[in-house]
Copies of this chain bind each other. A is one copy, B any other.
Amino acid sequence: MARLSLSDTDKQARDWFHRTTTDLGCKVHTDAMGNQFAVRPGLKNDQPPTYAGSHLDTQPSGGRYDGILGVTAAVEMLKVLNDNWVETAYPVGVVNWTNEEGARFPMSMVASGVWSGDIPLERAHNLKSVIPANDTATMKTELERIGYLGDVACSWKASPMAAHFELHIEQGPILEAESRRVGVVQGVQSYKWFTVTVRGRDSHTGATSFQHRADALLTASKMILASHKIASKHSALASTGILTLKPGSTNTVPGFVQFSLDIRAPQDETVNAVEADCKDAFSALAAGENVLDINTGCAPSSRTCSVDWRTDFVSPATHFHDDCVACVQAAGADLCGSGDVNGKDVGAWGKLMTSGAGHDSVYANKRCPASMIFVPCRDGVSHNPAEYSSPEACADGANVLLGAVLRFDKL
């Protein structure tokens, strides 16, 4: 599965979503970020719907469950409600959020961020594609091209939600390792995305001594190592997923390198501390100083590099709403048959957990109660073609999603 946001294949998935939810009796509308909202009426329709949903876009290397499980399970919920003639007290909705991955347009959860009012529409519309390379498309031109620039404003006021529930694969190894069927997600860790630019000097690889170089790639390599050392020290994560350089020739020392830096930790303060330490270390490394014991063992160069930081995205730590967490927990206990459904204790079947990855529920949670359901995935692997959750795990998740929505509807 490689379905980059707003690509031709994403359009196919959106067409499927629109057709299927319409056929299931929903009213469907699309907003100015391409978010799709399908609403099934309830007995009383003077209150906003309780939503289930996630996203249908993927990373360049998949997988088939990340986001997709959450949308398909929500569509399945509509079928189950129809087949069983269930009338909910209030309307129930299914949402497909645009570009959750932040892979093609490098801001994750950007469309729920516009919906919640945290990200300006203009900024989101002007985001440039980073995949494929040299693509000049923006979110707006691609929304127009595939016919999904909706005429409803992208906002929590225009498309209000009573609550937002999201089923997702864990994307980590814990549930599998501990043989638990369901993760009751209480929150999401803090993260920030940066673009770091290192400028040195193009020079000849054969005729330029180490002492005369300003090697932007050697310097960036030291920075990547430094970011890992610093994150390790703070029990945080630091990762570089994109790196480009210029001019790109075997016998020219690169004078320009740009790379992404993704910093995460449970607490905002920890992310900020890693950022501050990295800023210090990168400046020192660009200036040719030996810090954190990172050096090449040769005399320092007489030329130095410069380093610039751009902050691309900030997602503070999120704590989901107690009511929604309780609905998920109770639905899990209903399915799995043990645990204290009213207290904070989860039975052997489940685990209270914090998500390492960001999700649209983060922004949804700013405008309505929200929570998430995790199911185990093989080997904890995600953003990878090998991503896999068993049919049984998917069914568990779908059942808990249905149960949580119905419980919230009753609330």
How near does chain B come to A92, taking the closest CB pair, in angstroms?
A: 29
Q: A131-B248, A296-B225 are in contact. Are A357 and B206 (CB under 8 A)?
A: yes
Q: A59-B249, A60-B247, A296-B225 are in contact. Are A201 and B170 (CB under 8 A)?
A: no
- 9-residue interface stretch from A99-107, A120-128, A152-160: A99-107
- Is A172 among interface residues, defined by CB-CB distance under 8 A? yes
Query: Is A212 within 8 A of B254, CB to CB?
Result: no
Within 8 A of B (CB), among A225-263: 225, 228-229, 231-233, 237, 239-243, 245-255, 260, 262
- Is A84 among interface residues, defined by CB-CB distance under 8 A? no
* A191 and B251 alpha carbons, distance in the complex (Å): 11
- 9-residue interface stretch from A10-18, A22-30, A332-340, A380-388: A380-388
* A138 and B102 alpha carbons, distance in the complex (Å): 35
Within 8 A of B (CB), among A61-89: 61
Query: Is B102 within 8 A of A251, CB to CB?
Result: yes
- Residue on B nearest A217 in the bound complex, by CB: B240
Q: A281-298 CB contact bits vs B (8 Å, 1 = yes)? A: 000000000000110111
Counted per complex, copies of this chain come to 2
Cβ contacts under 8 Å, A204 to chain B: 171-172, 356-357, 382-383
Within 8 A of B (CB), among A291-316: 293-294, 296-298, 312
* A61 and B172 alpha carbons, distance in the complex (Å): 44
Residue in contact with A248 in the complex, picked from B101, B215, B239, B241, CB distance below 8 Å: B241
* A248 and B101 alpha carbons, distance in the complex (Å): 13
Q: A155-178 CB contact bits vs B (8 Å, 1 = yes)? A: 000000000000000111100000
Within 8 A of B (CB), among A198-213: 201-210, 212
Size of chain A's interface in residues, with CB distance under 8 A? 79
Residue in contact with A206 in the complex, picked from B130, B225, B255, B262, CB distance below 8 Å: B262
* A355 and B215 alpha carbons, distance in the complex (Å): 21
Cβ contacts under 8 Å, A294 to chain B: 225
How near does chain B come to A97, taking the closest CB pair, in angstroms?
A: 16
Cβ contacts under 8 Å, A172 to chain B: 204, 207-209
Query: Is A202 within 8 A of B103, CB to CB?
Result: no
* A205 and B294 alpha carbons, distance in the complex (Å): 23
- Is A390 among interface residues, defined by CB-CB distance under 8 A? no
How near does chain B come to A124, taking the closest CB pair, in angstroms?
A: 16
Query: Is A170 within 8 A of B242, CB to CB?
Result: no
- Residue on B nearest A264 in the bound complex, by CB: B206
- Is A222 among interface residues, defined by CB-CB distance under 8 A? yes
* A206 and B265 alpha carbons, distance in the complex (Å): 9
* A288 and B228 alpha carbons, distance in the complex (Å): 14
Query: Is B253 within 8 A of A249, CB to CB?
Result: no
Residue in A133, A206, A246, A260 with the greatest tally of chain B CB atoms within 10 Å: A206
Q: Which A residues fall within an 8 A CB radius of B?
A: 59-61, 101-103, 106, 108, 130-131, 133-134, 170-173, 189, 191, 193, 201-210, 212, 215, 217-218, 220-222, 224-225, 228-229, 231-233, 237, 239-243, 245-255, 260, 262, 264, 293-294, 296-298, 312, 355-358, 380-385
Q: A-B pairs with the 6 shortest C-beta distances? A: A232-B298, A205-B239, A207-B356, A171-B207, A221-B221, A60-B247
Known: A101-B249, A208-B380, A247-B383. 14 other contacts (CB 8 A): A59-B251, A101-B251, A133-B133, A171-B206, A172-B208, A172-B209, A191-B206, A203-B384, A204-B357, A204-B382, A206-B356, A218-B225, A218-B228, A221-B221
